[in-house]
Amino acid sequence: MSDAQDRLSQMGELAQRWQKLWQAQLQQQLSGQPRAQVPDPQSIQHTFEALWRAVLEKPAPMLQAQADFWRDYGALTEQAMRQYWQGEAVPTGAADKRFKDELWNSNPLFGFIKQAYLLTARHIQASVDAAEGLDPGTSRRAAFYTRQFVDAMAPTNFLAGNPTALKATLESGGENLFKGFTHLLEDLERNDGRLMPRMTDLGAFRLGEHIATTPGKVVFQNALMQLIQYAPATGKVHRTPLLVVPPWINKFYILDLKPKNSLLKWLVEQGHTVFVISWVNPDARHRDQGFEDYMRRGVLAALDAIAAATGEQRVNAAAYCIGGTLLAASLAYMAAANDKSYPASRIKSAAFFTTMIDFSEPGELGVFIDEEQLGGLDRYMEEKGYLEGHQMAGVFNLLRENDLIWSFVVNNYLLGREPMPFDLLYWNCDSTRMPAAMHRFYLRKMYLENVLKDAGGVVLGGVPIDMRRIKTPAYFISAREDHIAPWQSTYAGARLLQGPVRFVLGGSGHIAGIVNPPSANKYGYAINPALPATPAEWLAGSSAQEGSWWTDWQAWLQPFVGKPIAAREPGGGGLAAIEDAPGSYVRAKLD
């Protein structure tokens, strides 16, 4: 068979696969099966209906914005003519990773396309921001949805407007487009018709071999979690064990990626007996597991298991993101419940990584939180018993759409390239579901109603809890560029606790700001021993420090770690080993 015949055969196969996908999607639409869409199309429609009404009632800001646009566009056109006829240099403008090809700056046509797009995008967003008469929630949603549209329309996302893709097409005779269409079909087939570009080589990593390799054993498990105890790396260890509570929205091994950036491995090397909760990847059987269940069968069950394994009733605890929200709620419950089995003293110190307790300023996640959208999620979860993992993944990707969506559309589909192996992005693609009861409670009580910060706002086990009753020494680490847990919000939560609190502000974002080993010597952090009334005051009085916050936390922990004792082997205490780390719960993949 000739090359041409072979290529025709391959194209016929692709066409058949495309038709099969289209038919499957049509059948799914006609079947009436429940689907949760992010963003919710009705929310988008209602948001822009409200925006249009506001513009009609007060058109002056929009008219002024249009006048400003045509003025600036006229100036840009005049500049482009000078560049063409007089050879004037194309302005480079602000750095933007989408426009890194040299033709965007050296070619007048592409230079004009770039500048025209950036000008239009800026004015569209400014026009929406200038609209008067919208409530804050609607205004925030309008700005967010507008940004999604503007970024989706970037010329770099289309073949004709992307010089790098055009060059690849000419050089390869269109091979990049053939490969790109193949990648598109593979993604649609893998994701049940949803457009979710592959971010990394999904076959490049295996848990326990390339990532999540810190040696240990599962020593306890129940329906909601496995508890892993890590093997010691030192002859002596601190007497007080360390419990790590990760978020249940993602898998715990974000803290145990490659050995060089594993926080869990580093903690073991500092002499801690480290235990970590590995949450179950839930299905319909877990639909009724709520926030209180995660406290009792997660945090409290882990305390009992650690006591059985080590003989120690007291632990130091650390928790990441919403794992920290759960830890804070558990501490407040222990402080208020008068339960002799779980006095607040069982946790000697608590560290909170990018944790919100006060959700007054939830950042862009607040775009997805209102009665209309939560009502749609409730109906979907009532039918399914859980929220699909791809829904949460989609939300987080939209917060950084150019980095986590459109860059891969260009790389995978226009350029026809394979994504690079990257441990962090592999973890990002390893989604988890949310039990209906848990997720409903969390979104409403924390985000929508924001009552966790209020005395008695949340009731667990029949006990009204109050963050102000927590006297446990606490360490808060937040990230300056965090788009999921804005540091100003985490700071507000830190001020609710009544024990000694150390607040530290690291660099970068929600992940890189936490997974920041000392060996990397990146970002640095800021400290301020005081907790003034506002984040701005705290920042003004802070001092910059070099290195990683890991070493700062380790120094802060020293009064709570206890005397050195002989190293503990997993399974060598009161609990037998069940299986090797990282355990079976974390290996569960979504269908």
Say which residue the tokens 């409200």 belong to: 50
* CA–CA dist 93, 105 (Å, integer): 9
Up-side HSE of residue 105: CA atoms within 13 Å toward CB? 12
**CB neighbours of residue 538 within 10 Å:** 22
Helical residues (DSSP H) of 228-294, grouped into ranges: 263-269, 291-294
Give the CA dihedral 562, 563, 564, 565, nearest 10 degrees.
-90
- For residue 543, the SS3 value is strand
Containing 381, the helix (H) or strand (E) segment is: helix 371-384
* CA–CA dist 108, 223 (Å, integer): 63
DSSP for 133-196, written as a single string: S--HHHHHHHHHHHHHHHHHT-GGGSGGG-HHHHHHHHHHTTHHHHHHHHHHHHHHHHTTT---
**CB neighbours of residue 315 within 10 Å:** 23
* CA–CA dist 418, 204 (Å, integer): 12
Question: Is the backbone peptide bond immediately before 41 cis, with ω within 30 degrees of 0?
Answer: no
- Tokens representing residue 109 in the block: 């046509």
Q: What's the one-letter identity of residue 588?
A: A
β-pair type (501-506, 525-527)? antiparallel
* CA–CA dist 493, 501 (Å, integer): 11
321 is catalytic: yes
CB 54 within 8 Å of CB 134: yes
CB 302 within 8 Å of CB 435: no
CB proximity list for 503: less than 8 A, separation 6 or greater: 476, 478, 491, 494, 528, 531, 538
Residue of 80, 244, 321, 474 marked active site: 321
The set of catalytic residues is 321
